[in-house]
Amino acid sequence: MLEELRITGLGVIEDTTLPLTGGMNVITGETGAGKTMVVTGLGLLFGGRADAGRVRSDPGRAVVEGRLRLTGKIADAVLARITDAGAEADDDGAVMLSRTVTIEGRSRAHVGGRSAPVAVLTDVGERVLAVHGQSDQLRLLRPAEQRAALDRFAGPEHEKLLETFRETFTKWRRTADDLADRRRNARDRNQEADLLKLGLDEITRVDPQPGEDDELKAEAQRLEHAEGLRTAAALAYQSVAGGAEAGDETPDATSLLGVARRTLEGQAGVDAKLGDLAGRIEEAATLVADVTAELSSYLDALDADPNRLAAIYERRALLRGLTRKYADDIDGVIAWAETARTRLGELDTSDELLEELERERQRLEAEVAEQAARLTAARTEAAGRFAEQVSVELAGLAMPHARVEVAVLPRTAGKSEPSVTVDGTEVGVTADGADEVELRLLAHPGAPALPLQRGASGGELSRVMLAIEVVFAGAGGPPTLVFDEVDSGVGGTAAVEIGRRLARLARSHQVLVVTHLPQVAAFADRHLVVAKDTGGAVTTSGVRVVEDTDRARELSRMLAGLPDSDLGIAHAEELLAVADREKRR
């Protein structure tokens, strides 16, 4: 759970700390006091998009810090993620998270005191926190969101089925698009293929080898300067091997080294140091002998083939013909040929390939149809359970006679999207299947079941959304739930029921509620008030925990706008007493 949240320099909040409890935390305050900044701060802390426009000019940066205690089933997964980022939890199982946003828009994240990518905060947030606001209610009116809600409820096995379908659907569309492209652009493809074949034929005839152009260039340079090279090598050879063969008695390196070695060896018995030096001279003589042999081979190679230079010129001319057309060097030409061979396979427009692609398209289409039917059956089965559980929750939210229906309908085949035949009927199909999911509300007996976007008032929609979230919470999910004014459009008895249900939810989850309803706030285990301070040059806001009399005064303000009204305080104390009795039940 989130034990503490500190916000600095964000919106109207200058510097404030929210101590949180494991039950139901309620945040209230006047309109414009900064309640929204608390939710914004939570979003930033867990990887949300940074908005430099919300950063206070003084001090020029916003900082959000949170102390997260890891317990329960999610602890291992979260610890593994932060360990991958090079961070670690404290000895007591707590992790410090931090996010900084500057007024220039730069953003930094820290986990366990170590710098980390913002993505780490996002991953942690997805595991530990779920935020629900008024925008979620509006999203719930969209058919795609209703389908996503049903898929989420259906569970992990259903998610695997959906993922398998999406993979098959993607392969089917890719194959169908490839086939259509080959048929549509056959002439252009054939022309491109002919040009590639001409190039490959030319390269194959020349048969260039990797690095050949550089090797030939170096060899040509040696042969072009053969006379000078021969003279230098011969002189060096004569100097180290001796000139006896040419009738020259000039001392050579080999002879001189031999004299030096023998002279030192003669005195080695007197001084062992000279023996060591004689050994080193012998090593030098061995090295000179190796050099002599290599010089001899070098001289022989220079004289081996007098026609070699002409052959090199001819070969280099062929290679230059390739580098002028295909790449800057021979290695590039060879790489071009490999790419061309791959591209030729892609350009194949032969009847055999087209027939093979058509068979593959038909096979994948049959798989899509079969998997879509299974997906429809799974959704239909889950729809009944989903509708029943949401309806039960609505009964506890002052809608005792309301019912939710979840209809799974075949998607109408449109001209601009693909279709398949399922059970003899042509249906439209997308990556989400062949179904349209529609949530309908029967508000009271005798009323028709209408789609949410047509049949639900604002207050009813708020309660439907809350009922769905309660159902999701019962099936697992993040341990901390945030509700940002999801009770809009609700009052009276319905507001009391929402407070009661949130309090029940807080028995198994940490719940944070931003509300304007005193009936909801009365159920809090911890009540925090966001208040503005307009006494200085700049308006700021802070957060404080209220208890006992201060809490009754805050509820009185929410009830009647009069925190010091005796009647309002009496009403507030009555609300608190009712809430306390309900929580003890």
- Higher per-residue pLDDT: 462 or 154: 154
Instruction: Report the distance separating Cα 547 and Cα 28, nearest Å.
Output: 13
pLDDT tens digits for range 427-457: 999 999 999 999 999 988 888 889 988 877 8
Distances (CA, A) of 562 to 520, 533, 551: 18, 18, 13
Residue 222 pLDDT more than 70? yes
Decide: residue 297, CB within 10 A, 0-12 exposed, 13-18 middle, 19+ buried: exposed
Q: What is the DSSP string of 220-264?
A: HHHHHTHHHHHHHHHHHHHHHH-SGGGT-----HHHHHHHHHHHH
The per-residue pLDDT for 198 is: 93
| pLDDT tier for residue 537 given thresholds of 50, 70 and 90 | low
Instruction: Report the distance separating Cα 560 and Cα 18, nearest Å.
Output: 26
The per-residue pLDDT for 110 is: 92
Instruction: Report the distance separating Cα 407 and Cα 452, nearest Å.
Output: 12
- Backbone φ/ψ region at 327: left (φ over 0), alpha (ψ -120 to 50), beta: beta
* Cβ partners under 8 Å of residue 334, min gap 6: 203, 208, 210
Residue 137 pLDDT more than 80? no
Residue 45 pLDDT more than 90? yes
Residue 221 pLDDT more than 90? no
* Cβ partners under 8 Å of residue 546, min gap 6: 527, 528, 529, 553, 554
The per-residue pLDDT for 189 is: 79
Report the pLDDT averaged over residues 25-44: 88
Q: Record the pTM.
A: 0.65
Among 15-29, 374-388, 538-552, name the one with the lowest average pLDDT: 538-552
| Range from 263-267, 388-392, 472-476 that averages highest in pLDDT | 388-392
CB 65 within 8 A of CB 110: no
| Helix (H/G/I), strand (E/B), else coil: 534 | coil
Report the pLDDT averaged over residues 164-189: 89
pLDDT tens digits for range 46-76: 998 888 888 888 888 999 999 998 887 788 8
- Across 282-292, b (16+ Cβ under 10 Å) vs e yields beebeebeeeb
The per-residue pLDDT for 247 is: 52
Question: Looking at the domain covering 1-140+478-546, what would its CATH class be?
Answer: alpha beta
Residue 82 pLDDT more than 90? no
Instruction: Report the distance separating Cα 131 and Cα 138, nearest Å.
Output: 14
The per-residue pLDDT for 539 is: 67
| pLDDT tier for residue 303 given thresholds of 50, 70 and 90 | low
- Higher per-residue pLDDT: 304 or 159: 159
Q: What is the mean pLDDT of the chain?
A: 87
| Percent share of the chain, pLDDT over 70 | 96
The per-residue pLDDT for 244 is: 46
Q: Where in the chain is the domain with CATH 3.40.50.300?
A: 1-140+478-546
The per-residue pLDDT for 495 is: 86
Instruction: Report the distance separating Cα 315 and Cα 171, nearest Å.
Output: 48
Residue written as token pair 């029943």: 388
Report the pLDDT averaged over residues 544-566: 92
Instruction: Report the distance separating Cα 436 and Cα 376, nearest Å.
Output: 10
Tokens of 331: 């290695």
Tokens of 132: 């629900």
Residue written as token pair 């309620």: 26
CB 166 within 8 A of CB 292: no
Report the pLDDT averaged over residues 495-508: 89
pLDDT tens digits for range 235-249: 888 787 765 454 556
The per-residue pLDDT for 387 is: 95
Residue 290 pLDDT more than 70? yes
Report the pLDDT averaged over residues 149-171: 94
Tokens of 473: 């919470």
CB 433 within 8 A of CB 162: yes
The per-residue pLDDT for 448 is: 86
| Helix (H/G/I), strand (E/B), else coil: 403 | strand
* CB atoms inside a 10 Å sphere around CB 59: 14
The per-residue pLDDT for 246 is: 47
